[in-house]
Structure 1
């Protein structure tokens, strides 16, 4: 005699697994985005001359 509870539990387990997978994917994407902003900040801090020239490009051309 088969019981209905195991199939329901399997489906619930599957949905919980999908939710955990989605949460981990979101977490990884957030970490990658944070590291990307951090690396761009490091590049801007390491090479301030490039940022300075880019910010002063138009006034130099006008003068």
Structure 2
């Protein structure tokens, strides 16, 4: 019984971590989208510096 409880706890922990990672990823993409929309000149200069890296 204890091992089953522990397994459920691990599963909940894993799901919570996945959820947090998804939220952080979504906010990060939104943040980069805002930067691209607000500062296209900065992005252009960055792309001139490093043309290999695709933003």
Alignment TM-score, normalising by the size of structure 1 = 0.65
Superposed CA deviations along residues 7-44 of structure 1, whole A, max 9, x for unmatched, are: xx111011000000001001101111111111000001
Q: Structure with the greater relative contact order (CA < 8 A, sep ≥ 6): 1 or 2?
A: 2
Q: 1:15 aligns with which of 7, 10, 14?
A: 7
- Count of equivalent residues: 55
Alignment TM-score, normalising by the size of structure 2 = 0.73
Runs (5+) with no aligned partner, structure 2: none
Shift of 1:48: 1.8
* Higher-Rg member (1/2): 1
RMSD of aligned C-alpha atoms? 5.4
